[in-house]
């Protein structure tokens, strides 16, 4: 199994109680030397707001895309995903 990935993040404080940021990721992986490499790209936004001393509200949303080229009998595979979370 081979895997290589890199990511960048940026975070900013908008007020004493609110922060937000952006993350970008990229990677390649291969499970077997006979299989094609899969390339994955993602971008995500996140935010957090402190409601009071004990409670906070957090959320994130993003998009992830992966692609594996065709090789022999294995067809090309393209996937796109959208994710979101509020807690």
Model pLDDT, residue 70: 84
Burial status of residue 29 (CB atoms within 10 A of its CB: 0-12, 13-18, 19 or more): middle
pLDDT(58) > 90: yes
Model pLDDT, residue 42: 95
For 16-30, how does the pLDDT look when each residue is reduced to its tens digit (9 = 90+)?
999 999 999 999 998
Closest CA to 59 of 40, 73, 77, 46: 46
Tokens of 63: 């998009």
pTM for the complete prediction?
0.74
């Amino acid at each position: 199994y081979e895997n290589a990935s890199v990511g960048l993040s940026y975070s900013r404080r908008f007020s004493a109680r609110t922060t937000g940021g952006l993350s970008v990721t990229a990677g390649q992986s291969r499970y077997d030397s006979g299989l094609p490499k899969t390339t994955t790209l993602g971008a995500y936004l996140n935010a957090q707001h402190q409601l009071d001393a004990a409670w906070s509200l957090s959320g994130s949303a993003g998009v992830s895309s992966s692609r594996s080229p065709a090789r022999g009998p294995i067809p090309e595979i393209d996937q796109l995903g959208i994710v979101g979370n509020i807690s």
